[in-house]
Structure 1
């Protein structure tokens, strides 16, 4: 049985399924094991498997045929490029929302953070840095864990709810971007600046670091779509 990490289950199941497809465990046209088998393999409920399959079907990776099963979608390189463009469009919209909520979350977190919170953030950031250059899905999980921690420290339940709603889409598409795009900017310095601003309790600097982190990717996505 595959052991999942702590946190939302559905994105992790979707990520594992995506990894197995990209790795070639299932080829285009292959039928996946049924929900019961996958649920047993991942140690989750059937509803979590069903939702993860739905997400991958939306991205064009799976083809759900009612009465027959779930199959790896067949497609040419051209259709794959189109799907990637669609995913970029989705993440651009999500990034616009993400920027707005994370800027405000960083401002609030700088005012409310405690010394013990800084130690947790430092550990999260260290894990993010350790995963750079490794498995894209693991790196994205570590990156989002750091950002989620900042949003949690804002103390604003609505901001956290919005981030939680956007997180599955971000996880899916950022993993794809990290895996396939070679020109993504390195935002390590901006992450370190954000941690430093929070430790100093400086809201303006926290906002500036968040903007420096997110805006280059946002501009890059906009240019790619243009």
Structure 2
């Protein structure tokens, strides 16, 4: 990726901003290794110390992760979600509480506003979610579970709500991964997801909100 050569004032801040932009705009995708220190020095026209300070700052904020002997990787697209991806007990509790607030209300409005196209999409997403939790690929299972929750938010047809949820996407996905369990470990998880989708399809807003809220209450009891 070609970065803009910096001016000679505020070099570290300029490098930080350009690297942050490369992350937030997807030029450096999550999970991918960023260019080497030598490559950044050449692209930016600055010294190694400047690059190291910028990488250190972005690592501290949670956007980047330095892996000794391997390189530097993108770990989040915003400082907020990056900081919250360290999901120890307190962070996980906060993430689940936020999800409970957002998703219970999202489920309520999804039940009121869902379209027939939404119904078809929900059924497919639920089927894929339930099928993958029995498989051996945990990454695929986590992603299928997350995509179902994201779809439910989109079914509320509130642009700001969907943007808010996507703004916390890494945190939301990380909380799914942290609390993920096979169906045979917690069979109620599948029952809860089935009941939630059924309530949305039936346009039962109160039940949809109750099912979503109850699901996160259960996760909070189980994991925090």
**TM-score past 0.5 threshold:** yes
Question: Which position in structure 1 is the counterpart of 2:104?
Answer: 103
SS at 2:89's partner residue?
Answer: helix
8 A contact 1:92–1:218 mirrored in 2? yes
Question: Which position in structure 2 is the counterpart of 1:217?
Answer: 219
Question: For 1:63, which of 38, 62, 66 is the aligned residue?
Answer: 66
- TM-superposed CA distance for 1:115, in Å, is 1.7
Distance 1:56 1:137 in 2: 26
SS at 1:63's partner residue?
Answer: strand
- TM-superposed CA distance for 1:9, in Å, is 6.2
Question: Which position in structure 2 is the counterpart of 1:139?
Answer: 141
SS at 2:157's partner residue?
Answer: coil
Distance 1:10 1:168 in 2: 17
Distance 1:169 1:142 in 2: 16
Question: For 2:200, which of 182, 185, 198 is the aligned residue?
Answer: 198
Question: Which position in structure 1 is the counterpart of 2:167?
Answer: 165
- Listed as ranges, the gaps of 5+ residues in structure 1 are 1-7, 18-33, 38-50, 73-83
- TM-superposed CA distance for 1:125, in Å, is 0.5
Relative to 1, partners in 2 of residues 1:178 and 1:101: Cα closer, same or farther, differing over 3 Å? closer
Distance 2:198 2:159 in 1: 24
8 A contact 2:196–2:208 mirrored in 1? yes
8 A contact 1:64–1:71 mirrored in 2? yes
- TM-superposed CA distance for 1:186, in Å, is 4.1
Question: Which position in structure 1 is the counterpart of 2:34?
Answer: 35
8 A contact 1:94–1:166 mirrored in 2? no
Distance 1:145 1:166 in 2: 14
Question: Which position in structure 2 is the counterpart of 1:154?
Answer: 156
Q: Which moved more, 1:110-119 or 1:184-193?
A: 184-193
Larger Rg: 2
- TM-superposed CA distance for 1:70, in Å, is 2.4
**Deviations 1:146-179 (CA, angstroms, capped at 9, x unpaired):** 1111101111222212211222023234324437
Distance 2:146 2:195 in 1: 17
- Listed as ranges, the gaps of 5+ residues in structure 2 are 1-24, 37-54, 74-84
Question: Which position in structure 1 is the counterpart of 2:17?
Answer: none
8 A contact 2:154–2:162 mirrored in 1? yes
Relative to 1, partners in 2 of residues 1:161 and 1:130: Cα closer, same or farther, differing over 3 Å? same
8 A contact 1:102–1:210 mirrored in 2? yes
Question: Which position in structure 1 is the counterpart of 2:10?
Answer: none
8 A contact 1:91–1:169 mirrored in 2? no
Distance 1:147 1:70 in 2: 33
Query: Which has the larger share of helix?
Result: 1
TM-score (norm 1): 0.61
SS at 1:206's partner residue?
Answer: helix
